[in-house]
Amino acid sequence: MELDDQFYRDMTESHSERMQNLMRYYPFFALWSQSLNLYKDGKYAGVDMAYVTMAVLRFFIEENHFHDRAVTYGSYMEFILGVLVRDFGLRREDPEIRELASFLFDKLRNDGKPFTAEYYDPADRKRKTLRMRLFDSMFLDGAVVYTVTSDAIAFYLDTKEIKEESKITMEQLLLEKMITNRNFQGGIEVVRRINSEVNRLRVKKQEVLRVLSLNVFEGVKVLEEFNRTGIRWFEEEQEAFTRNKEQIVKALKKTQEAAREGGADEKYREVFRDIYRLDTELKRAMANHGRLLADCTQLLRQADERIRGYKFSRLRSVFDFSDYLRKLMEVDRADLLSGIALGMTAPAIRKMLPMENLADLLSCPGEREELPEKEEEYIEESRRFDDEIEEERIGENYRAILRTLLDTLLQREQFDLALFNQILELKYFDDIFRNSDYYSFLVHICQKKEYDMAQLEKKPETFLEEILAKLPREESGRYRGLRFRVDFGNREDEEETLIRHVIAGAERDSEFVTSNLYFTRL
């Protein structure tokens, strides 16, 4: 049986993309296969992991995207206890029920690690690893909070709806039918699903930026996929929003006319309430959709800046064109631009010594007269020692990190090391965690519990305080009068007190672990 090249090309090149799409289902089936038959000697074998997984996903989507709230461990505990009591007949007085709820949460989060699966990529002819998380965690306002990932939202939506290119457009068509049939309560649920899809795209935008900061080539692929599947139908979706808004206004007018003619406002009170709720949900969805458009516009601008910066950094190691142009502008010599072109177009001339000149060189008589040696004026060169160079480098790195720290303190009253690491990673990429000066900075900043910029300007005591004392003068007094405190991660309500920095190596990941810190503006 003979098959053409197009068949093999489609089979090999599309396999990696298909596996990535299938990966969003893998965590669910991995959890589904884990029964509770062996937990507590099978005491809770009747608890179904598949139902628990879908219920918790729905709870996180409701809290994160319908109510714009992050989920704490306490709110999850209250929800899952209600599920276990209501749907599985367990007793809230059971002394082990909270331990079961904690065990289920660890399973859903995979003990804080991503779900991984290996597959063979026939295009590259090597095995690759896919990773996916259902939930992310972060430290916010003095507590650990959890959010659902965009891939988990996409999986949840796919389990109920047919996969289309634009879910928002398809939901808008369904909403239009429900308004026409005066099914306003069903329309409210449809608008909530639209809101969930819009919020998923906003979360996806942040993930695109994160991939761009780690790997430009992979980030460009993710950005193209996001443009193709996420922001391609904005104009069509906006028209559908406007059309459904007009449908709601017409439905409200018809209901008012029917109420006046029938003379029974009480009968239509529930209808008016449903129409009002539907109109409120639709306004919220339109506002979120507008913010999504602004976010995507900002994403394209930031992506262009990062790609342009990456290209410039690759070129700069050979020749800095912008610096050369600046120097030419300072001396006002446009004719020197020819030096760039001539270096690329001039022929390579090879100079060789003619063989017939070797005899002249051998027979050339030397000078018989001894010439006096010329005394050269000795000029002492200023030499920079290695420790001075190291001190200058450390000072520049400390100054950059301190500026970021002080700027964050001006914006936030309190934050922890995890959030500070995210800010540094967005600003300096993950190279900051490969720099040993960053870890020595953490050691220096922990030497004192409190820093007062006003006092440091008068009498700095350490190397770090000398740099801090100069910053207000360098920044035109911006940080003058700022006071802040540094605390270690020893809070009772904190679930994790270690911050892990994972750095991708050539063969396997390298991991650095530091204790958590808290920075508080006084």
Per-residue pLDDT tens digits of the chain, which is 522 residues long? 455 666 667 778 788 878 888 888 899 998 988 888 888 888 888 999 999 999 999 898 888 766 767 889 999 999 999 999 999 999 888 889 999 999 999 999 988 888 999 989 888 888 988 888 888 888 877 788 888 887 787 788 777 644 444 566 666 665 666 676 677 777 777 777 777 777 777 777 777 777 777 777 777 777 777 766 655 556 666 777 777 778 788 877 777 777 777 655 566 677 777 787 878 887 877 777 777 777 777 777 777 777 777 666 655 455 667 777 888 888 888 888 777 777 666 666 666 766 666 666 666 655 555 555 555 554 444 566 677 778 888 888 888 888 888 888 888 888 888 888 888 877 776 677 778 888 888 888 888 888 888 888 888 888 888 888 888 877 777 788 888 898 876 544 444 445 555 444 433 445 556 678 888 988
Between the alpha carbon of residue 449 and those of residues 54, 464, 519, the distances in Å are: 45, 14, 10
Contact between 146 and 80 under an 8 Å Cβ cutoff? The reply is: no
Burial class (CB in 10 A: 0-12, 13-18, 19+), 174: middle
Query: Quick one: CA torsion of 331, 335, 337, 342, rounded to 10 degrees?
Result: -140
pLDDT for residue 365:
59
> CA-CA distance, 189 to 172, in Å (whole number)?
12
Whether pTM > 0.75 for this model: the answer is no
Residue 363 one-letter amino acid = S
SS3 98: helix
SS3 146: strand
> CA-CA distance, 171 to 193, in Å (whole number)?
8
Interstrand relation of 135-140 and 483-488 (parallel, antiparallel or unpaired): unpaired
pLDDT for residue 56:
92
Burial class (CB in 10 A: 0-12, 13-18, 19+), 189: middle
> CA-CA distance, 241 to 176, in Å (whole number)?
10
Query: So where are the chain's domains?
Result: 19-154, 165-315, 388-521
Task: For 497-519, write each residue's pLDDT tens digit.
Answer: 455 554 444 334 455 566 788 88
Q: Where are the beta strands (DSSP E) in 338-462?
A: 414-416, 450-452
According to DSSP, residue 109 is labeled: T
pLDDT for residue 235:
64
